[in-house]
Structure 1
Amino acid sequence: MFNHIAPKFEKGRILKTAMLENLRDFPRDFVDVYYHEYTDGIVSGAHVEVGADSLIVHPGIVKHQGRLYLLTDAVSIKYRATGREAALKVRFHAGDEDGDWRTYRSEIVIDEQLEADAAELELCRFKLKEGARLRQDYQGFRDLATEFNTVNVLHVRYAAYGKSTLSPVILRCFAEEMMRKGSGDPQDFMFTMMCMNEGTLARDVILHYMTSRLGMSSREYTNVEIHKYLGRILDGVRGSGGGRLGMAPGGSQRVIVD
């Protein structure tokens, strides 16, 4: 499970090998400073993979209440077809303290209470019909919001500077579809390249692109709303379909000969 374990160095206590090994294996000061201004959420990894009857959470780092939690080995949790929406969550426990350690542990659960409380972090959600197969092979950008039998990552919070942001899965899916359509709009070109190269993008960057591209008012939008409006941008693209992103179809081309 995700854990946060820190040795306690105090005058008069015996220095133990395990305490030094912990210090060696986790350069705590560096990562704490590096991610200090990041919000809570998934920092890296923690990818969810669908198995035949289980969800596999791969190693990763998450942040909760300012603490970084590491998952070093993949965890598998069984799921069932109930026809009701359920969320896969990390549930954080209160910290324990003894003479040597401050320990903050967690568990990974599937819960039909969708709204994550202050001690939980959602990794995905799904609604599986009996006899159906749970999938995550998205057939397009809008397929990310398919209600039944599909892993939904729209509500997942990714850690970012100042504000949480969207899953890189959403942004990469958007970029791949935009590249297939071949938009000639320079805004589309720049945003698509950022989605493909950056992994996670700051929420304000996504909102600025979305509102300026659609001529919308600037305000806070939910992840689900952002997905809907990014879908509208894709619907409005009338490119060449040849993947010539950033060059308008039929536009003039210039050759300079020295």
Structure 2
Amino acid sequence: MLFHKQAEFASGSILTQEMLELLETYPKQFLQLYFESYCEGVLCGLDYKIREGDLWLTPGILWWQKKIWTSSTAVNISAFLRKCHLEEGALGIVQWRPEQEIKQKGVTVHRLSLDIQYNLTKESPLEVGRFLWRDHRPIKVPNNWDELIESTERGYYFNICHAFQAFPGHATFVRLIFKYMKEVLRQKEGHTPLESAILVQLQNQGGVSLDTLYTYIGRNTAIDSCDNKLPLEELLQAVNEQLHRKHKISDQVVTSSEDIDETMQDGDDMQMEPQGYMLD
């Protein structure tokens, strides 16, 4: 059976427990059902920005443990790392750490705060990025595709390729990576049919699945098969080689990025503006 409930607030009416429960359960159930098929990761926002030399994480929303975690407060990652008094040359992972729940005015609040882990082989939807600490060198985030690829090989940049974007099905890279990939594809002369399809999806949805990227680099690798998966840095490097590969004329299609722009809406990155927390 399908049904629709709506609380009726009339002058002089008594506010019942059922009315209060409806205010909580309806939006909560809607969001949980809407994102049921999504993997865990960033839903929107939580973008990387450089402000006055510091690396910031903008406000946004995280999907984790079938719950929405949100905030309207930007987080200064550089300031957090400075307070940790790290040793020179330290390698680490910045990620969200669950804190003990607290109650505020009858509301149970579950918080996520920034933390540092040193197990570089562990993947987590709570990861923000990886770093190599230098006392006199500011943390930088890649500004384009070339710098992104450089960040997979050198510790000069904040490595964001292990941060997850919430996406239907399996986990995938964050939108900033796909933004840079879209720029390279737009500038490329002559697309294969697959490249044209990827560009359309990047423009409309802001990302593609890792399964699609494996297909692009010519590997028929099932995402569920851990034995066949590449390290994420190697996957990006393989994508980079394919992006710069010169195709034969017979492999190309006549559509250009300008043709695609005329027929499809450009779906640039959502810019909703977390310290993460979740109201239960």
TM-score over 0.5 for the pair: yes
Comparing 93-102 with 183-192, greater Cα deviation is found at 93-102
Q: Which residue of 2 aligns with 1:234?
A: 243
Q: Which residue of 2 aligns with 1:59?
A: 59
Contact 2:95 2:127 in 1 (8 A): yes
Q: Which residue of 1 aligns with 2:221?
A: 218
Report Cα offsets for 1:217-242 as digits up to 9, x if no partner: 323334323212211202323599xx
Please point out which of 172, 176, 199 is paired with 1:169: 176
Check 1:116–1:76 CA distance in 2 against 1; reply closer, same or farther (3 A cut): farther
Q: Secondary structure at the match of 1:178?
A: helix
Q: Secondary structure at the match of 1:151?
A: coil
Check 1:64–1:115 CA distance in 2 against 1; reply closer, same or farther (3 A cut): farther
Report Cα offsets for 1:146-199 as digits up to 9, x if no partner: 422212111111112221111122222122123223133222122123223311
Q: Does 1:123 align with 2:128?
A: yes
Q: Which residue of 1 aligns with 2:263?
A: none
For 2:211 and 2:177, the matched residues in 1 are separated by: 16
Indicate the RMSD between aligned Cα atoms, in angstroms: 3.7
- Which AA in structure 2 matches 1:236? R
Q: Which residue of 2 aligns with 1:11?
A: none
Report Cα offsets for 1:191-222 as digits up to 9, x if no partner: 123223311323333333333xxxx3323334
Check 1:239–1:177 CA distance in 2 against 1; reply closer, same or farther (3 A cut): farther
TM-score by length of 1: 0.71
Q: CA deviation at 1:91?
A: 0.9
Q: Secondary structure at the match of 1:42?
A: strand
Relative contact order (alpha carbons < 8 A, sep ≥ 6): 1 or 2 greater? Answer: 2
For 2:217 and 2:50, the matched residues in 1 are separated by: 31
Q: Does 1:208 align with 2:215?
A: yes
TM-score by length of 2: 0.66
Q: Secondary structure at the match of 1:142?
A: helix
Check 1:192–1:239 CA distance in 2 against 1; reply closer, same or farther (3 A cut): farther
Q: Which residue of 1 aligns with 2:188?
A: 181
For 2:123 and 2:214, the matched residues in 1 are separated by: 25
Check 1:144–1:15 CA distance in 2 against 1; reply closer, same or farther (3 A cut): farther
- Which AA in structure 2 matches 1:159? A
- Which AA in structure 1 matches 2:144? Y
- Stretches of structure 1 that go unaligned for 5 or more consecutive residues are 1-13, 250-258
Q: CA deviation at 1:105?
A: 1.4
Q: Which residue of 2 aligns with 1:190?
A: 197
Check 1:191–1:93 CA distance in 2 against 1; reply closer, same or farther (3 A cut): same
For 1:196 and 1:233, the matched residues in 2 are separated by: 19
Q: CA deviation at 1:59?
A: 1.0
Report Cα offsets for 1:93-150 as digits up to 9, x if no partner: 35457994443211123444445577x7111122243433332223625234242221
- Which AA in structure 2 matches 1:55? L
- Stretches of structure 2 that go unaligned for 5 or more consecutive residues are 1-14, 224-228, 257-280
